[in-house]
Structure 1
Amino acid sequence: MRGFAKWMVGLSLALPAAAWSASATWTMATGYPENSFFTQNIRQFISEVEKESGGRLKIDLRPNDTLIKHDAIKRAVQTGQVQAGEVRLGVYGNEDAMYVLDGLPNIAANYEQAWLLMQAQKPYFDKLLARNNLRAITYVSWPGQGFYTKTPVKSVDDFKGKRLRIYSQPTQKMGEMLGFQATILPFSEVPQAFATGLIDSLFTSAQTGIDTQAWDNVKYFMYTGTLHNKNMVVVNERAFRQLDEDVQRIVLEAGERASKRGFEMSRKAGQDTVEQLRANGMEVSEAPESIQQALAEVGQAMTADWRKSATPEQQKVLDDYLEMKKAGS
């Protein structure tokens, strides 16, 4: 027996260290379908992590609300029900004002500004998420957005009384200030909401219009730009810490690449998806100056209100961003 024990010790020393490294399989949830650029970006992230880790970390992605409803994903990752997931920042405004900053109209009106805002917000989010057993590894901006309606829109007066689906507290307030009856709904409930008459219009991106086949319910898409709010991929911090240090590094580096790639995929998707709306019979137009001006005024008022309720630390994030934007202009 002593000889066998010595042989086993010798074998363990002879085997490469990687053979004895811990391996893990994570479950990851997202609310978006496979054809969404968000999901495609995550698929590439997973492929890179699995390849670079030599299979020591495998990730089982469950898209399209098939495992967990989209707006419940953050809580599921926090509690360890799943190890990773994609979340929309604007859903969690009741937890912290920073979650809704990029949802204020015209705060980040293009991709360059959205990237600068992400950089300004990241240190704050790092601390905030750490207190909740979470870590953000990827941020991706949505394409610019607009209004989907059953009838053409020529002025703000045409918004009055329409039943608008939106997706966050800031967009609900924006809709109400423009004259809509605004209701917050996850995108997966949009078709049913149209069918039951709960809504008759949308404010969202062309990508979501395709994901929900908006042409089945509306005919017009008026692009405004207005918002480039973000999603983030979060991981459970305890699960992350259980990975080998080199695998942790692989995850973080792949996450950084996914952020940069995701912004570019979003930009391209914004262009491509508008064309897909046209191809499916929708009439696409740019918002007239009067509507852009109304959105700008709403954005200024909402930013002023945000400042009133924000802490000094949160206000500093906004001030830092505005300085960065000014320096880059």
Structure 2
Amino acid sequence: MLKAAATFSVAPMMDWTDRHCRAFHRALTRRALLYSEMVTTKAVIQGDRDRLIGFSDLEHPVALQLGGSDPAELAQCAKIAEDWGYDEVNLNCGCPSDRVQSGAFGACLMRDPQLVADGMQAMIESTQLPATVKCRIGVDDQDPRQALFALVEACRKAGVTRFIVHARKAWLKGLSPKENRDIPPLDYDLVYELKRSYPDLFISINGGVATLDEAQVHLAHVDGVMLGRAAYHEPALLGQVDRRFFAGEEDVAPFAALEVYRPYIQARLEEGVPLSHLTRHILGLMHGLPGARAFRRILTVDSIAPGAGLDVIDRAVEAVRDAAAAAAARRDLYLAS
């Protein structure tokens, strides 16, 4: 079941894929695998777990992504993930931020395949959850093929059977995390080669996938595709995922998704969550439609007002409907002339 869900997944993205974002994405796709933001092992062990890793049952299937390198801490956190009801636990070996580097985890782990393997083995032995790895194809001056294959081979021996590979090197010195999303070039062929070399492993590809058509092309070569920024900035495309990747489910239109998300919003408002925390994830929902700019403006400006509620969303939706009606009227007038 979970492996099937991994055919299409939404990437873990810091400051973006929080519990509210995932609840919204679940309104668009019932089947795709969703990931939490990366949470450090020390935070999970020592921090406010409800705030850091709490989630709603409606988010399933959902995976917790960990940042860390100490096998004992990773084992403890994997067990916590299981106890909290997650469907998967994932180790981040790809984030290039300075904060991650200073903590000796993330992309810098590409330099120490055995440490990663030791951590993964500890996780596997501590939980019944699938334990997976998300990695780059290398860092800095590493040879990508050698670095990627060394990491996968070490982790395979430790019992890992599923990998998500961001098909781009990470440069830990000289490039910002933002620049690391676009530089250096992607090498999808190397990830395809990895799958051919390890046909028994489940290999998902990530990095630069902008459309569902591109995702389907990749699936001719690998087992799964993970979308990141495209899924966040143009979430309406997630409404096609169940039909295109999971055996014929009907598409979910943007307006229908908002109706599904609405009870979740109301419940969180009653708990005291500001509306802006819930609407910031839906700003791109009407991308490409008449009135999309007005939709974003209303949500951005009005959601921060004290006591803002569902009426703000209603006004934003009405702006889109009005713009669509005006566009249709202009089209009819043109056709009649």
**TM-score, normalisation: structure 2:** 0.23
Structure exhibiting the larger radius of gyration computed from Cα positions: 1
User: Highest relative contact order (Cα 8 Å, sep 6+), 1 or 2?
Assistant: 1
From the two aligned structures, give the one with the greater strand fraction: 1
